Amino acid sequence: MHASLEFHDSEVRSTDAQADTLRIIFSAAFVRVAPDQVGYAQSVEIQCLGAHWNARLADCMGRLSGGRLLVGDSVLSSLALPYASTGPVRLELQFSNGAQLQVHAQSLVCGFTGDPKFVESFAC
């Protein structure tokens, strides 16, 4: 299956750190599975290894209003799933609550943490 994580409209459940590894766990990752098919997956996680960041992690949760990954001269607004960087990266996430997270990492991996289950909408 070909899928890509799009930062905007994704929702972050939590961010946590152990030493220099930062984990960003999504409660509803906005995922494109085909050019005209989008939905949400609950089993997506980003790990930033060899990382340092500039925000209070307790504030970095909730809906994302935007984000991008800078890899060398490339700027990515979405990530193929799974994704693994081949070198240093900078991840920038803007949260709807006003928090901004900027992470500098030696490497980044992103993927599904379990069996991906997609839903078109979480609206009730």
- How far is Cα of residue 51 from the mean position of the Cα atoms in its chain? 15
Distance CA 25, CA 44 (A): 6
Contact between 27 and 40 under an 8 Å Cβ cutoff? The reply is no
Q: Is residue 124 part of a domain?
A: no
Residues 64-89 have a mean pLDDT of 95
This prediction has a pTM of 0.92
- Tens of pLDDT along 14-52? 999 999 999 999 999 999 987 878 999 988 999 999 999
Residue with more model confidence, 101 or 117: 101
Q: Output the CA angle 102-97-28, nearest 5 degrees.
A: 80
Q: Is residue 87 part of a domain?
A: yes
Domain that holds residue 30: 3-119
- pLDDT, residue 116, reads 75
Question: What's the total number of domains in the chain?
Answer: 1
